[in-house]
Structure 1
Amino acid sequence: MTSCAPSASEFAFTTVPTCSDASEAKVRATVGQLISRILPKKISNERRRDFRYPYPHLIYLTPVDAAGQALNDLSTVVVGKNITERGIDFFHRDPLPYRRVILTLESEDGARASVVTDLLWTRFTRHGWYDNGGRFLHILAQNGPS
């Protein structure tokens, strides 16, 4: 039986670029496309700046060190909670000691995007998990159906 999980080499990253206005526009467009594939109908009555969609999917997380180097050997899987065009929150079993990470998001039809994310907050839940949230900065890789 073949594995559906991507190999480590598919998510090997090098230096992570810094943020710009152009990269924010690309992030919003790419993540917006992934959201529309997952949840094509928008639900109204959201009072936040951006509408949050449920994102109960597994996400590949690759930490990024202070020099901007991806720490591929420390990649792990986290559990998605909510997503917007600008950011995401997810659950992780252990505290994350990194400020920047690369999150690889997938839709059910195979579209995938790897997004540099600035982690802005974390909360310990009463169930023993950490709820983490961050803002998308850059798209690194994108593939699958378009």
Structure 2
Amino acid sequence: MASCAMTTSEFAFTTVPNCSDESDTKVRATVGQLITRILPKKITSERRRDFRYPYPHLIYLTPIDATGEPLNELSTVVVGKNITERGIDFFHREPLPYRRVILTLEAEDGTRASLVTDLLWTRFTRQGWYDNGGRFLHVLTQNGPC
């Protein structure tokens, strides 16, 4: 990340309502732009639906409770692993008890994107970390979601 001196209070969010079907298009466009800034070329052919890019960057994670309220006081930093236009996987030291989170990604030039993410799976690694993966649902803007 361009500035490691930032605090999680810079990423305080308000309520996170559900968005329309246009969210997928906006998510893919926003993350695609971020990927282009980080890694402009594809590395190898990919057998999966979406091409995975290495994403060895720090990510701000803000949990969302069952009512859709962001839990800003529980924001933390996780370590990115891979990213696609539709989803991401990352490492975390503790198990995450939340299904939905806000992930704030940042490119080296300071461009940020905050995305509501549905966590779909987790694996415990031999090294003592948790490998988590999820699908991006929608982009949060300064004025709210979408």
* TM-score > 0.5, shorter chain as reference: yes
Counterpart CA distance in 2 for 1:74 and 1:102 is: 11
Structure 1: gaps of 5 or more residues: none
TM-score normalized by the length of structure 1: 0.91
Contact 1:60–1:77 (8 Å) recurs in 2: yes
In the other structure, the counterpart of 1:76 is 76
Aligned to 2:112: 112
User: What's 1:64 paired with?
Assistant: 64
Matched residue of 1:25: which SS? helix
The one-letter code of the counterpart of 1:126 is R
Indicate the structure whose relative CO is greater, using CA pairs within 8 Å and at least 6 residues apart. 2
Q: Equivalent residue of 2:6, what SS?
A: coil
1:92 corresponds to: 92
Equivalent residue runs for 1:7-18 within 5 Å:
7-18=7-18
Q: Show CA shifts across 1:19-77 (max 9, x none).
A: 43201100000000000000001124100000000000000000000000000000000
Give, in whole Å, the separation in 1 of the partners of 2:58 and 2:120: 20
Instruction: Give, in whole Å, the separation in 2 of the partners of 1:69 and 1:139.
Output: 16
Gaps of 5+ in 2: none
Q: What is the aligned-residue RMSD (CA, Å)?
A: 1.3
The size of the alignment, in residue pairs, is 140
**TM-score of the pair, normalised by structure 2:** 0.91
Moved over 4 A (4+): none
- Give the Cα–Cα distance (whole angstroms) in 2 for the partners of residues 91 and 73 of structure 1: 20
Q: Which moved more, 1:19-28 or 1:85-94?
A: 19-28
